[in-house]
Chains A and B, each alone.
Chain A
Amino acid sequence: MSIRLNGSMISVAIVAAVVGAVVSVSMSQTAGQTPRPARIDGRPNFSGIWQANNEAHWDLQAHAARAGAVTQPGVYPFEYARVAAAPVVALGAAGGVPASLGVVQGDGEIPYTPEALAIKKANAEQWIDRDPELKCYLPGVPRAMYMPYPFEITQSTNKIHLAYAFATTARTIHLDDVDRPPADTWMGHSVGRWEDDTLVVDVSAFNDKTWFDRAGNFHSEALHLTERFTLMTPDVIQYEVTIEDPKVFTRPWRIAMPLYRRMEPNIQLLEYRCTEFAEEFLYGHVRKEQLVKRWEGETMIVDITRKVPPGDRFYESFRK
């Protein structure tokens, strides 16, 4: 009896030890998220939930902080002294734009043709009217990669799927041979290959409807991207994109940034299904009883009402 027990206990111990060792190896990749092996099918495993942590979604290029996402001339005649305008003025310090060193490599310039540069400037001035993000349209690539929302990579052997929280956008990177899409696309047609441990993705078949950021940077349907994904650490991807579009740019240019793993142990991709959130923006003018009160045709005029709550200490001091 006692011998039998010992034998069983020894074998249990062996199982526990071996399982423990193997499991600890396979789980050593990351503290957060679902534990996964560091490599899959012999390649670095990019599976998991990632997010850029930078200001590229505001403007790919280096820029100083500014008072609002939408500004108007203040009391000074200087560009650098503009003040927040409606509709963000009521948001105070939450409505501004943070500064950035930019993500454009080399001299930091985006090599627009003169005609394209004029369009870019007009886009920036008419940001609210023109930016597809505000309408909850598909964001395009590379923009989807550095919007302030997480995305999930599901990496298999012949497909790598990217699911984005924003607008429930998706794209599949094909590592196998597939037919091209029958028409131009918002998110491009992604074909990947491995160069050692770097995933290189060729993206084409774009339409001309997406932007790069909220600063009006844009492209034509001739856009062609070469993306490079390289793991710097198990939890950081170095993401680089070479951008070519002979109709808009005079030469190829490049952006680069780290993408960070979301480390929360309970992280999961949640929906940001903004179609519904953009309805007032898109269709408010054709309501019977308008919620936004001032419309001139399709032009929305936003009146801002900001009330000081009773008991606010700052304002009470004025009233004394």
Chain B
Amino acid sequence: MRTRLLAVGAILVVIAVVAILVRSGTSAATPGGAPRTPWGEPDLQGIWTNEFDTPLQRAARYGTREFFTEDERAELDKARLALLGRDRRVERGTELDVAGAYNSVFMSMKRTGRRTSLIVDPPDGRVPPTTPEAQKTAAADRDFRLALLQSTETCKSNSTACAGGKYDPRPSPRRAEALTRYNTARMNRHYGPEDGSLSDRCLAGGIPEFGTAYGGSFRRIVQTERGISIFYDVGQGQGFQRNIVMNGSPHLPSQVRQWHGDSRGRWEGDTLVVDVTNFSAKTDFMGSRENLHLVERWTRTGPETLEYAVTIEDPTVWIRPWTVKEEFTKQSDKENRIYYEPRCHEGNYAFPSLLLSARLAEQAFAEGRGPDPALSDNATDFVGVEENPFGR
């Protein structure tokens, strides 16, 4: 009797396996009601975005509480609606005033989300402390950037952009220093492309990608059997793509480094798990570079929803791994509002203009027609305006 049961069970297994392998074309939903592709994998396809604004880190006043109440969300929406934000002018006629060009209409915020922070682990919703090594690197980087600002109005006026530094009317001798670590952020020196931020060079756009309070973070997923492609529309034309390897093979050899890493995926039940390594040392995510390791979990939770969780790990930067969770909402396929172009690069007139202006200012100074370029700040923006009351 037991033998027969086992045999029958095995045959049922065979039938089930065959049914899956021949891809009968049925699109049975996942247990959660989410659709499947005709070949039986959970269907993650479409254009997705986070329609709500949630701060990366939780404000301390919420402690370990993961969700806002509905009343709190309404209150926060009201408070944020009343913000002047970038419509508040800093002192008129200053360099910083000019830098605040994007106003509150351009930078309108999304509504408050359910979560008190994107970070769900550690339980306080905060980025874990950094290692002594990472603190040292960050401090050296900050000191250099402050030295480039020390003789400018920004430091003279005690702007928050000069916090930690102090005004000195004489330009710092450090202005002549060669870069010893790949620069990714804007600095008050414009000797060549390398002094520019990745964003100014049209080289920003990377993972993990958490969007902004103002939106502008879309991703399109297209699937085939054992193949997934994701295109990210982010940062005003700084979009990028990931083609996830789904054949169980190991990561790229360690000398092959990429701006967007090496993504290798597998299905764990109905969740797509993607392991990402091999980042280039030219990338920087909150201080993490070539040692960044991500484990992403993509789960279709319903017809219009996709849950995304990512565990972020770099033992050279953070004392422990941390995890972010987002819920994406499906966008209209018909309206097709995701843009792969124009890219930032094809229209990047600003960056060479910045470099050219720096050369002209140097020339004017040399000929006694203008001030020392080291006395002006062409790097700082958006300082002194009201920030999102979510806090930091």
Is B245 an interface residue when CB atoms closer than 8 A count as contact? yes
Task: Give chain B residues whose Cβ lies under 8 Å from the Cβ of A120.
Answer: none
> Provided the pairs A36-B226, A170-B231 are in contact, do residues A137 and B10 lie with their beta carbons within 8 angstroms?
no
> Provided the pairs A47-B224, A287-B192, A288-B192 are in contact, do residues A168 and B241 lie with their beta carbons within 8 angstroms?
yes
Is A115 an interface residue when CB atoms closer than 8 A count as contact? no
How far does the alpha carbon of A283 sit from the alpha carbon of B196 in the complex, in Å? 12
Q: Are B223 and A11 in contact (CB under 8 A)?
A: no
Stretch from A60-68, A105-113, A176-184, A301-309 at the B interface? A176-184
- Could you pull out 12 A-B pairs where Cβ atoms are within 8 angstroms? A14-B11, A14-B14, A15-B10, A34-B245, A35-B226, A36-B224, A137-B346, A163-B229, A269-B243, A276-B282, A286-B359, A288-B359
Task: Give chain A residues whose Cβ lies under 8 Å from the Cβ of B362.
Answer: 288
Q: A14-B14, A19-B17, A161-B220 are in contact. List 12 more A-B contacts (CB 8 A).
A: A4-B6, A11-B6, A14-B10, A23-B21, A37-B23, A37-B225, A47-B224, A138-B343, A154-B229, A155-B224, A158-B333, A279-B201
Is B247 an interface residue when CB atoms closer than 8 A count as contact? yes
Q: Are A41 and B226 in contact (CB under 8 A)?
A: no
- List chain B positions with a Cβ less than 8 A from chain A: 2-4, 6-7, 9-11, 13-14, 17-18, 21-23, 25, 37-39, 45, 190-193, 201-203, 220, 222-229, 231, 240-241, 243, 245-247, 249, 252, 256, 258-260, 282, 333-336, 339-343, 345-346, 351-352, 355-356, 358-359, 362
Task: Give chain A residues whose Cβ lies under 8 Å from the Cβ of B240.
Answer: 168
Q: Are A157 and B38 in contact (CB under 8 A)?
A: yes
**The 4 nearest A-B residue pairs measured at CB:** A11-B10, A286-B355, A161-B222, A34-B247
Instruction: Name B347's closest neighbour in chain A (CB-CB).
Output: A137
Task: Give chain B residues whose Cβ lies under 8 Å from the Cβ of A286.
Answer: 352, 355-356, 358-359
> Provided the pairs A186-B341, A286-B355 are in contact, do residues A170 and B241 lie with their beta carbons within 8 angstroms?
yes
How far does the alpha carbon of A174 sit from the alpha carbon of B222 in the complex, in Å? 11
Which of A8, A154, A186 lies in contact with B6, CB distance below 8 A? A8
> Provided the pairs A40-B39, A179-B335 are in contact, do residues A152 and B247 lie with their beta carbons within 8 angstroms?
no
Q: Are A289 and B231 in contact (CB under 8 A)?
A: no
Is A18 an interface residue when CB atoms closer than 8 A count as contact? yes
Q: Are B229 and A161 in contact (CB under 8 A)?
A: yes
| Contacts between the two chains (Cβ within 8 Å), count | 179
Which of B17, B220, B333, B355 lies in contact with A15, CB distance below 8 A? B17
How far does the alpha carbon of A57 sit from the alpha carbon of B333 in the complex, in Å? 34
Is A293 an interface residue when CB atoms closer than 8 A count as contact? no
Q: What is the interface size of chain A, counting residues whose CB is below 8 A from a CB of the partner?
A: 69
Is A81 an interface residue when CB atoms closer than 8 A count as contact? no
Task: Give chain A residues whose Cβ lies under 8 Å from the Cβ of B192.
Answer: 283, 287-289
How far does the alpha carbon of A31 sit from the alpha carbon of B347 in the complex, in Å? 43
Task: Give chain B residues whose Cβ lies under 8 Å from the Cβ of A187.
Answer: 340-341
Is A82 an interface residue when CB atoms closer than 8 A count as contact? no
How far does the alpha carbon of A106 sit from the alpha carbon of B227 in the complex, in Å? 38
Give the shortest distance, in Å, between A306 (CB) and chain B (any CB). 26
Among B2, B17, B282, B343, residue most surrounded by chain A Cβ atoms (within 10 Å)? B343
Is A101 an interface residue when CB atoms closer than 8 A count as contact? no
Q: Are B22 and A268 in contact (CB under 8 A)?
A: no
How far does the alpha carbon of A152 sit from the alpha carbon of B243 in the complex, in Å? 8
How far does the alpha carbon of A276 sit from the alpha carbon of B226 in the complex, in Å? 32
Which of B39, B45, B256, B336 lies in contact with A178, CB distance below 8 A? B336
Among A33, A168, A266, residue most surrounded by chain B Cβ atoms (within 10 Å)? A168
Which of A6, A26, A45, A171 lies in contact with B21, CB distance below 8 A? A26
Instruction: Name A155's closest neighbour in chain B (CB-CB).
Output: B224
Interface bits A282-319 vs B (CB < 8 Å: 1, else 0): 11001111000000000000000000000000000000
> Provided the pairs A15-B10, A168-B241, A179-B336 are in contact, do residues A36 and B225 lie with their beta carbons within 8 angstroms?
yes
Is A251 an interface residue when CB atoms closer than 8 A count as contact? no
Is A7 an interface residue when CB atoms closer than 8 A count as contact? yes
How far does the alpha carbon of A138 sit from the alpha carbon of B23 in the complex, in Å? 38
Q: Are A273 and B7 in contact (CB under 8 A)?
A: no
Q: Are A276 and B203 in contact (CB under 8 A)?
A: yes
Task: Give chain B residues whose Cβ lies under 8 Å from the Cβ of A276.
Answer: 201, 203, 282
How far does the alpha carbon of A245 sit from the alpha carbon of B197 in the complex, in Å? 40
